[in-house]
Structure 1
Amino acid sequence: MVDTETFIFRSLVALGLGLVVGLDREFKHKPLGMRAYMLVSLGAAALCMISLNIAADAETNGFAFDLSRVVGGIVGGIGFLGAGAIMSNQDHGKLRGVGSGSLIWVVGVIGIAVGFGLVVEAATITLMSFLILTVVGWLRTRFDLQEQKDT
């Protein structure tokens, strides 16, 4: 059972970790900014925590509740958001938005981890994601690896 104090703490952690990832996207003027990443992380965490409480209540009353279905639903919903980010950014037949689409999925995983109390794991995923965004961004700038626009 997730008590109120734990719920608030985990929600704030999910918001903070979503903010860390979202700041990179905001600074790079990407279509999905910190607000979207914070909301996805918070929503996934909150749904997991609420599901833990439902599962505890169900067990008390002799019912079964499958938490893996909750995780599957979250992943599916976030995949839908990611696909929308990819599809809405097509430019002259070139696939655009793959980074934003995949990052929204990772932020959902961060939220799931926080929701189930795996805060260290969530922070590690956040740090790794931020490093990937930073290092790849630096490499693209340094070696002119950015995709050239058609003129």
Structure 2
Amino acid sequence: MVEFSEFMLRTLFAGGCGLLVGLDREIKNKPLGAHAYILVALGSAALMVVTLNFSLSTMANDQDMTVNPSRLIQGIVGGIGFLGAGAIMGGKDSKRLRGVGSGAAIWGAGAIGIACGLGYLAEAAFLAAVTFAILNLHDWFESRAKGGAE
């Protein structure tokens, strides 16, 4: 069983990692703000820990019952896909999709939350740092490309 203090550590750590990714999106005024990334990472972590505790307590109480926590990961990933799609849906005035980076980043925030919920905090911190770096490096390269083309 995951104790409550560990639950708090994992979920708050996930929220902090979500904040790191979300700050980039918030500062750049992207479709999804920092609060969305925090909540997705926090919620994903909380769902994973609660599911782990449920699985462990159910199997301890009833040896005949099988519970597969990995099915929750599938549900989280699918559910976050709807948030990403909402970020990507653009207006009719543009011939180019907008919000793809935000859609991908919200999916990454879910992965960060899942990692935290399972207790992989170092891996989650690495994912958050790499996601943050990719979002910023992309913008840096894009600004250099536009500046060099003029």
Q: Same fold (TM over 0.5)?
A: yes
Query: Structure 2 length normalisation: TM-score?
Result: 0.92
Please say if residues 45 and 113 of structure 2, whose CA atoms lie closer than 8 Å, have aligned partners that are also in contact: yes
- Distance, in Å, in 1 between the alignment partners of 2:132 and 2:43 is 20
1:2-151 to 2 correspondences below 5 Å: 2-62=2-62, 63-88=65-90, 91-144=93-146
Please report how far the alpha carbon of residue 61 of structure 1 lies from its aligned counterpart in structure 2 after TM superposition.
1.7
Please say if residues 101 and 135 of structure 2, whose CA atoms lie closer than 8 Å, have aligned partners that are also in contact: no
Q: 1:81 to 1:90 in 2, by over 3 A?
A: farther
What runs of 5+ residues in structure 2 fail to find an aligned partner? Answer: none
Query: Structure 1 length normalisation: TM-score?
Result: 0.91
Q: Which amino acid aligns with 1:131?
A: A
What runs of 5+ residues in structure 1 fail to find an aligned partner? Answer: 146-151
Residues 67-122 of structure 1 show CA distances to partners (whole Å, capped at 9, x for unaligned) of: 11111011110111111111255542321111111110011000000000000110
- Distance, in Å, in 2 between the alignment partners of 1:112 and 1:90 is 35
Please say if residues 40 and 110 of structure 2, whose CA atoms lie closer than 8 Å, have aligned partners that are also in contact: yes
- Distance, in Å, in 2 between the alignment partners of 1:24 and 1:138 is 13
- Which fold has the larger relative contact order, with Cα–Cα distance below 8 Å and residues 6 or more apart in sequence? 2
- Distance, in Å, in 2 between the alignment partners of 1:89 and 1:132 is 26
- Distance, in Å, in 2 between the alignment partners of 1:52 and 1:123 is 21
Please report how far the alpha carbon of residue 142 of structure 1 lies from its aligned counterpart in structure 2 after TM superposition.
1.7
Please say if residues 90 and 97 of structure 2, whose CA atoms lie closer than 8 Å, have aligned partners that are also in contact: no
- Distance, in Å, in 2 between the alignment partners of 1:142 and 1:27 is 19
